[in-house]
Structure 1
Amino acid sequence: MNCNAQGLQNKPAVKPDSSIKTIHIYVALCDNKYQGIVPVPSKIGNGQDPNSNLYWGCSYGIRTYFKNSKEWKLIKTQKLDSIKLERLIFKHTTKNYYLIADAYNGKNIKECTKDFLRSSCGQLKNTINIDNKTIGISGNASLVAYIGHDGLMDFQLSETFRNTDAKTRDIIILACISKSYFSTHLKSAKVNPLVWTTGLMCPEAYTIHDAIVGYLNNESNEQIRTRAALAYSKYQKCGEKAAKNLLVTGW
C-alpha cells in the first residue's frame, strides 16, 4: 500500500486505462444539523438521506439532474459506507468519458473537503473497475470537482496540499466564496481552476453540468465559465452579469 505525507492510504498502485478520461465530483450533502448553513426545509437538508437531499436526490441535485441528462447514462449505483453514502458512475453517450459522483454524509463534510483537496494535488489516487476496464478516479481523474457548503467557513485544515506528480488537474468548486476560501489550500497544488465563486451561491447540478459540456468540447476556461454562468443565470434568474461576477475562472 502507498501512503501520502498525511498517512492517507491509497489502494495498491494500479495503472488506469490511459485511453479513458474521468471526472470525479465530490458532493457534501446539504445538512441543517451539522453544517453552518442557513437552514433549508428539513427534508432536503437531511445530510444522512441522499434520496431527498438538495444536492443529490432533488430535481436539481447531482443524481437526478445527470440521470435526466441526454448526454450521460447511469451505469452503476453503489452504496459504499457510512461516510460515502452513495457512488454513481455515468458514461458519456458520445465521448470516452466516465463521471463518478460521490455523496458524502453531510456530517462528514470535512472528510469530503479533504478528499477533494487531496485528489486535486495528486495525494489521493484510486482506480475502479467498470465495463471490464480500470478507470482512474480521485487524483487519477482529469477534472476534480466539489459541490456543497463551503465547510472551510466553519473549520480549518492544517494539512498542506502540495502537488505530488507535476500534473495539472482541472478543478471546479461550487460552494460559497470558494475562490477566497480554497485558494490558500490550492496554491501549491498546481491546479487549473475552471470555475469557482466570489460570493454566496446555490451549488445545484445545472451549473457543473453545463460547464462539463464545454470541458468535453475542449473549450477555454473563459468559455467553460461562461457556460456555467449562463446556466446559473437561467435557473436562478439572477441575470447574466451577476452570474459572471459570481462564477469566475483562473487565479
Structure 2
Amino acid sequence: MSKHKPAGNKNLAFKSDSKTIHVFVALCDNKYQGIVPVPEKIGNGQDPDNNLYWGCAFGVRTYFKNSKEWKFLESRKFNSEKLERIIFKHATKNYYLVADAYDGKFIKESTLDFLSSSSGKAKDTLKIGKTTIGIGGNSKLLAYVGHDGLMDFQLNESFENTDKQKRDVIILACYSKKYFSPHLAKANVNPLVWTTGLMSPEAYTLHDAISGYLLNETNEQVRTRAAKAYSKYQKCSEKAAKNLLVSGN
C-alpha cells in the first residue's frame, strides 16, 4: 500500500487570470522501470540533466527551452521524489507551463500525482515573483510523459472528480488509453491525446499538441498536430502516427 500523499491540498480554492499547464515527467529509468533498456547515460532516472525525457535534446526541459513559443523563467531543484521543477511563460498567451521531473524510481508517485490532479483531488499553487499560479488540479491542462507504469503496478486509489470541472489531459506513454482510462473513468477529463500502442514520449509531440491547444483548436486538430510532429521525428507515416495518437474517450 502506497504511503504517498498526492501533492497539493484538495481544499485549496484558487482563482487567477493566468492559466497553467502542468506536466508530470517520470524520468526514464533502466533500473527501476519495466522498460526495454536504453543507453545507460540517458536511462539513469536519478540524473535529470542527461535523461532521455528531460535533459536530452528531445526531453521536456531542453525542447521547451529551445522553443520560441515559451520563455524560460526558472528552475527549482528538489531532493525528494521530484528532482527538478521548471517554469515557463508563453510568449503571447497568458499561460504558464510548469514541468516536474520525478526520480524514475518514483514513477508510481508521479502517476498518482497526475491522476489526483486530473480529477481535482490534488490542487496547489505556486509563486513566481509576485504572481501566484495554480498547479495540480488548479491547472487547465495536465500532461503525463514517460513509461506507462500502470503496466507494472496496481493502484488502489480512486480518482473521482471532486469539483465538476472538466480538465484537459495529454498522456504520452505506451498504451496509455488502455491503462489510464479505467482510472480516469470518473475523473471528468477531456483526453486531448493518448495512445493505442508503443510510443516514444519525447517532447515534440507534447509541444505541438500544446501549440494547437493554446489556439483553441478542437481535440481532432490538436491530435493531428501531435501526430504530424511524431511522424516527422519518428520517421513514420502520418497515418501510423494518427493510429497511435488518438483523442477522446
User: Same fold by TM-score, threshold 0.5 exceeded?
Assistant: yes
Letter in 2 for 1:169: R
* Distance in 2 separating the partners of 1:10 and 1:127: 8
Equivalence map 1:82-231=2 (5 Å): 82-231=80-229
RMSD of the TM alignment (CA)?
1.4
SS of corresponding position for 2:100: strand
Does structure 1 retain, via aligned residues, the 8 Å contact 2:84–2:100?
A: yes
* Distance in 2 separating the partners of 1:172 and 1:247: 10
Q: Tell me the CA shift for residue 18 of structure 1.
A: 2.1
* Distance in 2 separating the partners of 1:11 and 1:184: 24
Does structure 1 retain, via aligned residues, the 8 Å contact 2:205–2:226?
A: yes
Q: Tell me the CA shift for residue 12 of structure 1.
A: 8.7
SS of corresponding position for 1:202: coil
Q: Tell me the CA shift for residue 16 of structure 1.
A: 3.8
The more displaced of 10-19 and 171-180 is: 10-19
Does structure 2 retain, via aligned residues, the 8 Å contact 1:198–1:245?
A: yes
* Distance in 2 separating the partners of 1:205 and 1:133: 27
* Structure 2 unaligned blocks of 5 or more: none
Change (3 A) 1:124 1:41: same
The more displaced of 131-140 and 62-71 is: 131-140
Letter in 2 for 1:217: L
Change (3 A) 1:115 1:8: closer
Q: Tell me the CA shift for residue 81 of structure 1.
A: 2.5
* Distance in 1 separating the partners of 2:59 and 2:141: 19
Change (3 A) 1:87 1:184: same
Q: Tell me the CA shift for residue 38 of structure 1.
A: 0.1
**Structure-1 residue corresponding to 2:55:** 57
* Structure 1 unaligned blocks of 5 or more: 1-5
Change (3 A) 1:40 1:19: same
Change (3 A) 1:7 1:100: closer
Q: Kindly tell me the number of residue pairs found equivalent between the two proteins.
A: 246
* Distance in 1 separating the partners of 2:199 and 2:80: 28
Does structure 2 retain, via aligned residues, the 8 Å contact 1:16–1:134?
A: no
**Structure-2 residue corresponding to 1:26:** 24
The more displaced of 130-139 and 109-118 is: 130-139
Deviations 1:208-231 (A, max 9, x none): 000000000000000000000000
Q: Tell me the CA shift for residue 131 of structure 1.
A: 3.2
* Distance in 2 separating the partners of 1:9 and 1:56: 21
Does structure 2 retain, via aligned residues, the 8 Å contact 1:60–1:204?
A: yes
**Structure-2 residue corresponding to 1:41:** 39
Deviations 1:114-162 (A, max 9, x none): 0000000000000001131110000000000000000000000011100
Percent of paired sites with the same residue:
70
Does structure 2 retain, via aligned residues, the 8 Å contact 1:17–1:133?
A: no
Does structure 1 retain, via aligned residues, the 8 Å contact 2:6–2:116?
A: no
The more displaced of 76-85 and 225-234 is: 76-85
Letter in 1 for 2:79: D
Change (3 A) 1:9 1:106: closer
Does structure 1 retain, via aligned residues, the 8 Å contact 2:82–2:102?
A: yes
Change (3 A) 1:220 1:112: same
* Distance in 1 separating the partners of 2:24 and 2:136: 9
Change (3 A) 1:125 1:12: closer
SS of corresponding position for 1:128: strand
**Structure-2 residue corresponding to 1:3:** none
Deviations 1:59-98 (A, max 9, x none): 0000000000000011010012321000000000111000
